[in-house]
Amino acid sequence: MSTPSGEVKVPFLLFCFIQLLPTPLSVSSTTIALFVCTQSRTLNPPPLMASLHPLNGATTTAENPKSNPKPITPSELRSEFSHHDPTIARINNGSFGCCPATIIAAQQRHQLLFLRQPDHFYFNTLKPSIFQTRRIIQTLINADHVDEVSIVDNATTAAAVVLQHTTWSFFSSVFQAGDAVLILHYAYGAVKKSVQAYISRAGGHVIEVHLPFPVKSSSEIVSEFQKALQIGKSNGRKIRLAVIDHITSMPCVIIPVKELVKMCRDEGVDRIFIDGAHAIGNVEIDVKDIGADFYTSNLHKWLFCPPSAAFLYCKVSDEMSDLHHPVVSHEYGNGLAMESAWTGTRDYSAQLVLRR
């Protein structure tokens, strides 16, 4: 987030806060507290940030999305969140995120730009602006190509894209009835329901990886995951898709995704989708290093964009041309990134505040 001097401040305090927690985390991510914002410690800058476009009133802009911002002061922080209900101690950022005042102002400028001349906005401004957002995300997550990055509403929509794609593999007999999709027992409720809606209905079998509570070490996670893969295989099933959280919602645990992805590859799992809804702004994301086929993260949680915005990374592959946004509009067939950038008439402003 930019301050008048163009420095990116707010996300990094929360980023630092979560970094200070033990790993694996032992609390729900939905209880990670904004009270940290009142801390006056000087902390190191985060690897990630949201910042403002000059259009948004920033007097200077951060050139490099990974450049080092200065820490925000407690009074600036209080002012950024002065619209919060003062009678409530907001300790739940994880569920819906929260948005600083300067970002809300930025969003409103984009909304007014649209309303001022909708045709001009839709036909001349929207596409290049979303392209810029995709470029920034590409840099932040170390994706090879901007075409691998689509901007969607939220992690739930990203899950729908991936699961719909998997469903079609069942319907077109690329996958067979009884083939499996593997998810964590701690997977987010809405994602579990999406797996039920798309995969179970298509004839897929769902394997849940049971994790202990509390989780005491990464090796416990790795070993439970290995067991679930073996059980799946011993029943003669092919595991077609693994859905793995990067930071689980309840309880809040950082999952060793890179290790689990490697294990999936070694065991011949066809596709891997990382649900990193809480990840961007919290932990470094390097999609090439992680090695999954799909990765999503919400921008409206720990990157402090307005609701709602998320990215979906899809590694380039032959099958990827068959990925589609569940809402079909004019850009159908032009690639997921283009389809996602126009899903009918709506307010796209939340997707436009992220700027270098």
Residue located via tokens 């932040």? 140
Stretch binding ligand PLP (CB under 6 A), from 49-57, 131-139, 261-269, 273-281:
273-281
**Residue 340 in the binding site for ligand PLP (CB under 6 A):** no
What are the beta bridge partners of residue 208?
183
| 339 lies in the site for ligand PLP, by CB under 6 A | no
Question: In the beta sheet, which residues pair with residue 149?
Answer: 313
Contact 311, 151 (CB under 8 A): yes
Contacts of 346 (CB under 8 A, 6+ apart): none
Q: Is 182 in the site for ligand PLP (CB under 6 A)?
A: no
Q: Using the minimum distance from each CB to ligand PLP, give the nearer residue, 175 or 311.
A: 311
Strand spans (E) along the chain: 149-152, 180-184, 205-209, 239-245, 271-275, 294-298, 310-314
Distance of alpha carbon 31 from alpha carbon 135, whole angstroms? 32
Question: Binding ligand PLP by CB under 6 A: which of 7, 80, 148, 275?
Answer: 275
Is 163 within 8 Å of 201 (Cβ atoms)?
no
Using the rule CB under 6 A, which residue among 17, 170, 188, 294 binds ligand PLP? 188
Judge whether 271 and 240 are in contact, CB under 8 Å.
yes
In this structure, what token pair is assigned to residue 153?
């509403």
152 touches ligand PLP by CB under 6 A? no
Q: Interface with ligand PLP includes 302 (CB under 6 A)? A: no
> Does position 198 bind ligand PLP by CB under 6 A?
no
Q: Could you tell me the smallest distance in angstroms from the CB atom of residue 210 to ligand PLP?
A: 17
Which residues between 18 and 77 bind ligand PLP (CB under 6 A)?
none
Q: Does 138 bind ligand PLP (CB under 6 A)?
A: no
Report which residue type is found at 171.
F
Give residue number: closest CB to ligand PLP. 154
Query: For residues 95 and 230, which CB has a smaller minimum distance to ligand PLP in the complex?
Result: 95
**Rounded to an integer, what is the distance from CA 180 to the centroid of its chain?**
24
CA 292 to chain centre: 14
Residue 249 interacting with ligand PLP (CB under 6 A): yes
Residues lying near ligand PLP in the complex (CB under 6 A): 94-95, 154-156, 188, 190-191, 245, 249, 275, 277-278, 298
